């Protein structure tokens, strides 16, 4: 796999529920984290006392976060609406040279900051809220 530009890791939002995704405006940094809880089934009969895990069990989750400059664009407005209305719309995460993760996410944090001699910035955190699909690129 070749080195990829960080700007190509995109977070996209379904603006209207029609399956058309738009990149969230102004992002400078993005991060995707995938997790799977384990279910331990170790017993006295476990070989050599090694821990054993139950395959296919446990809760899977994904957390997506991004930070950037506030642009007051349509996607910024939609993110605020989603947060305050408690909606769980479709999002896409484009991971360059890997694939696209798509599914329902809830915005769990939305932060704004700024200083008197700098630009307004924001941070957004999303938590998976259902089954996620993966399409290889």
Structure confidence by residue, pLDDT tens digits, 32-65? 999 999 999 999 999 998 999 999 989 999 999 9
Q: How far is CA 104 from CA 16, 116, 119, in A?
A: 14, 37, 31
Tens digits of residue pLDDT in 101-110: 999 999 999 9
Residue 73 belongs to a domain with what CATH number?
A: 2.30.110
- The dihedral built from the CA positions of residue 80, 121, 5 and 129, taken in this order, carries a sign that is negative
d(CA 106, CA 64): 10
In sequence order, which residues have a C-beta less than 8 Å from that of residue 131 and are 6 or more positions away?
A: 103
Q: Which domain holds residue 101?
A: 6-136
Split into its structural domains, the chain has a count of 1
Residue 97 in domain = yes
Judged against a pLDDT cut of 80, whether residue 96 lies above it is answered with yes
Residue 49 backbone phi and psi in degrees, to 5: 75, 15
| 90 — pLDDT class (breaks 50, 70, 90) | very high
Residue 121 in domain = yes
**What percent of the chain lies above the pLDDT cut of 70?**
99
| 1 — pLDDT class (breaks 50, 70, 90) | low
Q: Which residues of 87-125 are buried (b: 16+ CB within 10 A; e: fewer)?
A: ebbbbbbbbbeeebbbbbbbbeebeeeeeeeeeebbebb
Residue 42 in domain = yes
């Amino acid at each position: 796999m070749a080195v990829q530009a960080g700007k190509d890791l995109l977070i996209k939002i379904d603006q209207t529920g029609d399956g058309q995704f738009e990149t969230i405006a102004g992002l400078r940094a993005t991060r995707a984290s995938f997790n799977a809880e384990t279910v331990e089934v170790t017993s006295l009969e476990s070989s050599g006392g090694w821990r054993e895990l139950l395959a296919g069990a446990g809760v899977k989750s994904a957390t997506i976060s991004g930070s950037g400059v506030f642009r007051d664009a349509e996607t910024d407005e939609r993110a605020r609406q989603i947060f305050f209305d408690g909606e769980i719309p479709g999002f896409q995460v484009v991971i360059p040279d890997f694939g696209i993760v798509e599914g329902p996410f809830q915005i769990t944090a939305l932060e704004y900051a700024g200083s008197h001699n700098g630009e307004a910035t924001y941070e957004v955190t999303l938590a998976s809220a259902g089954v996620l699909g993966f399409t290889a690129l």
